[in-house]
Amino acid sequence: MAVTSIAREREHAIFRTCSATGLKVDLAAERLIIANAVVAVVMLLIGGIIALLLALTRWQAIHLLNPVWFYRLTTIHGIDMLVAWIVFFEVAGLYFGSTVLLNARMVKPSIAWFAFVLMLVGGLMVNVVVLMGGSDVMFTAYVPLKAHPLFYLGYILFAVGALIAVALFFVNVVVAKAEGRYEGSMPLVVFGLATAGIIATYTLLSGALAFVPAFFWSLGLVDNYDPGFFRNFFWSFGHPAQQINLAAMVAVWYALAFLTVGAVPLNEKLSRLAFILYIFFINLGSAHHLLVDPGPSFAWKATNTSYAMYLAVLGSMIHAFSIPAALEVALRRQGHKRGLLEWLRKAPWREPGFAALVVSMFVFGWIGGVTGVTIGTEQINMLAHNTLRIPGHFHATVVGGTTLAFMGLTYYLIPLIFRRELKLKKLAIWQPYVYGLGMALVSVGMIAAGLQGVSRRHWDVTFTQAPFQSPVPGTVHLALAVMGIGAIIAIIGGTMFLLVVLSSVFTGKRQEATSVTLVVDPPPFLGYMSEKEEKDAQLQPRGTFVIVLVFLMFFAAYYLSNWWLLGRTWMVR
């Protein structure tokens, strides 16, 4: 059934066959994956060092940096982490998904290198311009706060490079199908990455709509740039950019579940439906940032902020069930059938990918997801907008969730793609727990401070040099200390990650991978369930069902308590 619309003999791709998985790896794709992943990790290193300095400044008892450097480094931290680290890694992931997982080739490596250079130049340009001063405008760069023209140009170059990389992903997928590199439907992980790619396309186009006029405005070629217009288009880039992470992260979750316990999706239809819900509805999330803006009406805000009836949230609730359920069923099929939760006790907790998966899902869902839906509720947003609750939410999603999932996947790229022995395994075993604990404390500390009205992006909540001092209760200082201590723990976890990765990549023995797992024995691969197994009562994911019900109760409690809090404040309309 192979269709050969492009003659195979005309291709120049050179493949190797992976000894652990049997997958064919195009060496040109491999080099691109390595380059993008390495730059991503370097960006993570820079952003991480800055993160520590910022946390130690906001921890009022230490208050490390002066205001100029605090605001300058906050700008760089946002851009390097939210854009550079994540997008570079996602490009690596997109190339991996569209070539290695499909046994396919990188169709145009030269263009991929061009995209890589554009992104690198754009990213460096923004970093250098901000460090030189005069462009301390934050990640959001709200007009009419003006930065140097090269700041906007850097953003644009980066976005164009990323857009080209996304286009190449689709080209790879289409050509792989046309050349018959894989049979039947594409694997769910690639489907998830394709979702991320579709979201990325309109996200990056919106970014261009926001930044191209801003570039001309900063050059003085355009007189007036409406701040409301900019906010709308910026957030059509800024928030969906995090939804690219969401889709890519969920795809990585499915991948880690497969690698570490051999789990396959219980129902492909349901999991794919969840991704499709993301594609249709999640871009409305840009309204989350405009909920207390002058301009839009109640109906506009309510419809958009709910992603049209919370259907994108439904997508996440589906994954919240189907991924742990896939783990549970896989472990039950391996013989851990007793009671509700035996499978959980017998799970490979020492395997870094499994630990990263579970901790990432927990921090993302229980902290990030719950708080995100709550503060994205139109009226409740009045209590949360621009307070530390916002970074509290997205440090749980993007850092505790996405970054940790990507770290987990990186451990597997080392033997499979870098073809090096994984060094410092003991550190790798503990790393997801340390990092997850740190980020959970950072998020909870920020949320607790934000609930008490502490602003985000603020150098001094005690207002010592200001004309008035608003009283700061001791509980605020406690919350900020929790955040600071969490940041130190997270930095230790981040350092552990870098030590493992750098020592493996530079000093690890060159070798072909022999196993997909790193610490425990590779899981038996049982494939998709037979009809008889599907009917087996002992293989049903009952434990997961109980866990998600508890999750829903926690969700409801947090959500409803916020309405209660809102009801106690001044009357406003």
Q: How far is the CB of 430 from another protein (least distance, A)?
A: 26
CA distance 360 to 357: 5
Q: How far is the CB of 383 from another protein (least distance, A)?
A: 5
CA-CA-CA-CA dihedral for 44, 46, 49, 50, to nearest 10: -110
114-118: long-range pairs with CB below 8 Å, 24+: 114/161, 114/164, 115/91, 115/161, 115/162, 115/164, 115/165, 115/168, 116/32, 116/35, 116/36, 116/39, 116/91, 116/161, 116/165, 117/161, 118/157, 118/158, 118/160, 118/161, 118/164
Q: How far is the CB of 19 from another protein (least distance, A)?
A: 17
Q: How far is the CB of 523 from another protein (least distance, A)?
A: 12
CA distance 185 to 188: 9
Question: Cβ closer to another protein: 101 or 440?
Answer: 101
Question: Cβ closer to another protein: 374 or 495?
Answer: 374
Residue with tokens 């400044």: 57
- CA diameter of the chain: 76
CA distance 18 to 38: 21
CA distance 298 to 291: 9
Q: Could you tell me if 272 and 188 are in contact, meaning their C-beta atoms sit under 8 angstroms apart? A: yes
Indicate the angle between helix axes 109-131 and 67-78, nearest 10 degrees.
Answer: 170
Partners of residue 420 on adjacent β-strands:
510
Question: Cβ closer to another protein: 161 or 484?
Answer: 484
Question: Cβ closer to another protein: 115 or 189?
Answer: 189
Q: What is the DSSP code (8-state) at residue 385?
A: T
Q: How far is the CB of 534 from another protein (least distance, A)?
A: 7
CA distance 105 to 179: 10
Q: How far is the CB of 505 from another protein (least distance, A)?
A: 23
Question: Cβ closer to another protein: 164 or 274?
Answer: 274
Question: Cβ closer to another protein: 507 or 515?
Answer: 515
Q: How far is the CB of 331 from another protein (least distance, A)?
A: 16
Question: Cβ closer to another protein: 242 or 377?
Answer: 377
- Determine if the peptide bond prior to 391 is cis (ω within 30°): no
Q: At 305, which amino acid appears? A: T
Q: Could you tell me if 244 and 207 are in contact, meaning their C-beta atoms sit under 8 angstroms apart? A: no
Q: At 191, which amino acid appears? A: F
Residues in CB range of 198: below 8 A, 6 or more apart: 279
Question: Cβ closer to another protein: 378 or 439?
Answer: 378
Q: How far is the CB of 405 from another protein (least distance, A)?
A: 14
∠ CA(50), CA(53), CA(57), 5° rounding? 140
Q: Could you tell me if 71 and 138 are in contact, meaning their C-beta atoms sit under 8 angstroms apart? A: yes
Q: How far is the CB of 378 from another protein (least distance, A)?
A: 5
Helix, coil or strand: residue 48: helix
Q: How far is the CB of 492 from another protein (least distance, A)?
A: 29
Q: How far is the CB of 543 from another protein (least distance, A)?
A: 10
Question: Cβ closer to another protein: 469 or 507?
Answer: 469
Single out the residue of 89, 80, 8 nearest to residue 45, CA to CA: 80
C-alpha 258: how far from chain center: 19
Single out the residue of 549, 558, 548, 544 nearest to residue 370, CA to CA: 558
Question: Cβ closer to another protein: 372 or 493?
Answer: 372
Residues in CB range of 242: below 8 A, 6 or more apart: 82, 394, 397, 398
C-alpha 2: how far from chain center: 35
Question: Cβ closer to another protein: 40 or 383?
Answer: 383
Question: Cβ closer to another protein: 36 or 316?
Answer: 316
Question: Cβ closer to another protein: 429 or 451?
Answer: 451
Q: How far is the CB of 550 from another protein (least distance, A)?
A: 13
Q: How far is the CB of 507 from another protein (least distance, A)?
A: 29
C-alpha 304: how far from chain center: 22
Single out the residue of 120, 151, 154, 157 nearest to residue 136, CA to CA: 151
Q: How far is the CB of 354 from another protein (least distance, A)?
A: 15
Q: How far is the CB of 255 from another protein (least distance, A)?
A: 5
Question: Cβ closer to another protein: 375 or 398?
Answer: 375
Question: Cβ closer to another protein: 393 or 423?
Answer: 393
φ and ψ at 163, to 5 degrees? Answer: -65, -40
